[in-house]
Structure 1
């Protein structure tokens, strides 16, 4: 089944195009939520979307979105199966049966070094996803549970796994290896994997379209900035380096994640504060980042407003976020021979004109000059160039991971 060690190709199942419908269901299953969208991968038209949240609790509910209409439905069982039962009922109410769904595209957070592309889900693929559980103990078990529930709910559809890590498998060893004992890598897979790959790949393609260029001819830096944040160096459509590593904790300052810290921090806090390994790790993931610095919250909108009102912690959090972001963007130029454009995306990247302005202000050495009017206009889903004419291009490109996953799933069916 492999094409080279650890890489999967589609040989176990063939999909008949005669039976393929026009709809693709995209699923993003978390530990207590299921985000979904039913869409046409060719047009991007979304028929239905929504979020099942608070799974595992008495407050479990599903919020369905049909165009401008929102509907909230309680989930009495509070589990994945109950969520999919409600979804099936809603699809039937919309006149769509399970048989009309050609594919279900599943976001899977960690594929390790096994997957450099999306994969049709087979028994062997599921085994490989399970093998990556130690690398993503909070994410991959939820992804697996969601896959099992979806396969039961949609038995006639092709189920495709789309991995956050796959896009970054093109990184060379000099970028993905840590300077640690070799057996840690060879026996335990300790290396840099990177995440947000679906978003980085999508906005790199959209940036090429906006610039009127061949994606294979472009050299870009993409910045996905949300509650989780990462930057990537993209050359000829391939990831050459990225800021996240073995886990999504490495790299930039994020909403509640610290990003880079001294590796001796765990030992220091164990000795000085009496904290356990798990306590330090939990704090670095859930109590740090913008939340830890500000002492106020993790939402950039709240922090920018508080900073403007004189809140010292909020001001520090924004300054550290921007400074570390600019440093990482500068570092991402190393794999490139030139910089054709910097791309901002994600909730912060798409909506915070202030963060973009401050970041470009620290990167004048790379030839950026801001167009203030264009930058102010590039919010709430607007795309465009925010740098002044004659300067290095900086773009805002709204991401669409659901559409990218649907396209990847459709591509797998076409080649199966």
Structure 2
């Protein structure tokens, strides 16, 4: 008898923010996207859900003030109306901060929820929102396994010399103050894809991965494992970002409070929401807008790009210390995948590593042609690899669901 095709195995992936809910259903065996969307302005005026299904875009309006529970209830109704529920095998949740509790994705139970709550002090803008999404999904999908996938988990392989700050050790021992790193699912995914591209086992490969979007981080990956990363206790440390300052002199806090009478809340707002590309350019946090202004001759826009690229190149070069040997530099994320200008500026500053940008390949990478953007004769390759964090979450959730 001919073999019967196996039933589709779909995973609902949820990424819950404080006022938004990003969702997708993916086929866990093929990575094909079935439906995807975003619920935004949750808890405020005119919340709505935008989604894409079978190539068409749709929109659902929610009542004023409705938040995550209402958004998930509407999502459940949508899933049922489109007859997508029967193939669901799990719900995968992106959780920003797992602290030292989690080194891998886990099935959510009361102990896991408690650990995520305890870690909320390290990510007050993210973990409470992630918990909202988990609890709403547990209520809506009672029979489905719920799996947590942590941004920080991939970086738990970092050694102490990389993750400890030069602060009194008691702050680490008693309060968990250390570098944790973020974008772990993205760095993990693109490293695996890069190993396939260079035809080398991941566990024998050394990469530097630059995830560049509104948030930016670099990760040093040695023999397939994270050994250092630029983000720290929070996603504020490290590179210049869209609206975040990245690393600064901690003495700035004293100056701002004593000389300019800033409050703690004002400093937090300044560093997280008014700095980075936006702060320097005084135009926008959108790289595309800044690039257009720079090409038109705006000197502050050009300065913002130059600072962004200089700090990025400097961080990449620093990660040769833990790696010693580099197989490839990876660009990913919205900016990393689409900005040929930034990639060329960075690669030009890293010529001493054996990198030499291929202008034509670099330009072509803007149009979805992922792959090598350096010349084949280079000793080290630079690659553009689109990230797929949703696929990592779906895959991990499916594997854990099958184990139950």
TM-score (norm 1): 0.93
Aligned partners of 1:49, 1:380: CA distance in 2, in Å? 22
Aligned mate of 1:358, from 332, 345, 350 = 345
Q: What residue number does 1:394 align with?
A: 382
Post-superposition offset of 1:251: 0.2
SS in 2 for 1:250: coil
Residue 285 (str. 1) matches residue 266 (str. 2) = no
Aligned partners of 1:318, 1:29: CA distance in 2, in Å? 31
Aligned partners of 1:295, 1:275: CA distance in 2, in Å? 20
Residue 182 (str. 1) matches residue 169 (str. 2) = yes
SS in 1 for 2:323: coil
Verify the 8 A CA contact 1:110 1:140 in the aligned structure 2. yes
Aligned partners of 1:67, 1:43: CA distance in 2, in Å? 16
How many pairs align?
A: 396
Please give the per-residue CA displacement for 1:143-201, whole angstroms capped at 9, x wherever unaligned. Answer: 00010101111111100000000000000000000000011100111100000000000
Aligned mate of 1:65, from 52, 57, 75 = 52
Verify the 8 A CA contact 1:231 1:243 in the aligned structure 2. yes
Q: What residue number does 1:89 align with?
A: 77
Aligned mate of 1:384, from 356, 368, 371 = 371
CA RMSD of aligned residues (A): 1.1
Aligned partners of 1:346, 1:370: CA distance in 2, in Å? 19
Residue 375 (str. 1) matches residue 366 (str. 2) = no
Verify the 8 A CA contact 1:194 1:242 in the aligned structure 2. yes
Verify the 8 A CA contact 1:61 1:78 in the aligned structure 2. no
TM-score (norm 2): 0.96
Alignment of 1:17-56 (within 5 A): 22-56=9-43
Q: What residue number does 1:410 align with?
A: 398
Verify the 8 A CA contact 1:120 1:160 in the aligned structure 2. yes
Please give the per-residue CA displacement for 1:260-279, whole angstroms capped at 9, x wherever unaligned. Answer: 00011111111111101221
Post-superposition offset of 1:132: 0.6
Aligned partners of 1:387, 1:184: CA distance in 2, in Å? 44
Verify the 8 A CA contact 2:8 2:27 in the aligned structure 1. no
Post-superposition offset of 1:82: 1.3
Structure 1 residue runs of 5 or longer lacking an equivalent are: 1-19
SS in 1 for 2:344: helix
SS in 2 for 1:83: helix
Aligned partners of 1:145, 1:232: CA distance in 2, in Å? 29
Deviates more, 1:167-176 or 1:39-48: 39-48
Deviates more, 1:312-321 or 1:69-78: 69-78
Structure 2 residue runs of 5 or longer lacking an equivalent are: 1-6
Post-superposition offset of 1:294: 0.5
Verify the 8 A CA contact 1:21 1:102 in the aligned structure 2. no
Q: What residue number does 1:12 align with?
A: none
